[in-house]
Amino acid sequence: MEIYCVNYRESRSKTVLSQSFAQIFRGEIPIVVCIGTDAVQGDSLGPLTGSLLKERILGKTLVLGNMDCPITAKEIPSVAEFLREVFPKTPILAVDAALGEKQEIGTVKVLDKPLKPGLGVNKNLSPIGTSSVIAVVEEKCGNKNLLGAVRLSLIYKMADLISSAVSDYISNCYANSNRLRDEKYKAL
């Protein structure tokens, strides 16, 4: 399992994330599933990422979960089943907010494994995706759920970074496939 970590404040953060997607997906374009709810500020990272990404990629891949239609814990099992049945061979990138250690706040992690949503708030939910992005938005403090107290500016900056990096990766995939197609036709 490969793990890529970068703090959103680092100047190289978008490059690190885009390169991690290239390593994991190797030219394949994933479906992106953004998990969370806009009803809790700290848990709105997924839906905000989905909304920003949809604006950036303009239909180049399927993006599920956004501010208008969030994918919350109760929808995860049906979304996961839908994806398995309809897109059995397509890679799925799941995006969610996470709780972690205090020094991890602001860290974006890309993992080459499914997302296990709800771990930070002691929920046992179905895993989703083939790879995942988790953004540590707050410290995990015992049984306290501090997601409502997370600064919106942190959520926005992290969602903007993630959506921008995913968009760059997908745009590069399209550019490479167009270049290969053009080279093929020139050879004829």
Per residue of the chain (188 residues), give pLDDT as tens: 668 999 999 999 999 999 999 999 999 999 999 999 998 888 999 999 999 999 999 889 999 999 999 999 889 999 999 999 999 999 999 999 998 899 999 999 999 999 998 776 677 788 999 999 999 998 887 655 666 678 999 999 999 999 999 999 999 998 877 665 555 555 55
Residue 69, classified by CB atoms within 10 Å of its CB into exposed (0-12), middle (13-18) or buried (19+), is exposed
Q: What is the pTM of this model?
A: 0.91
**159 and 45 in contact (C-beta within 8 Å)?**
yes
Q: What would the CATH number be for the domain defined by 3-187? A: 3.40.50.1450
Neighbours of 187 (CB within 10 A): 6
E-strand spans in 86-183?
A: 92-100, 107-111, 131-139
**147 close to 97: Cβ distance less than 8 angstroms:** yes
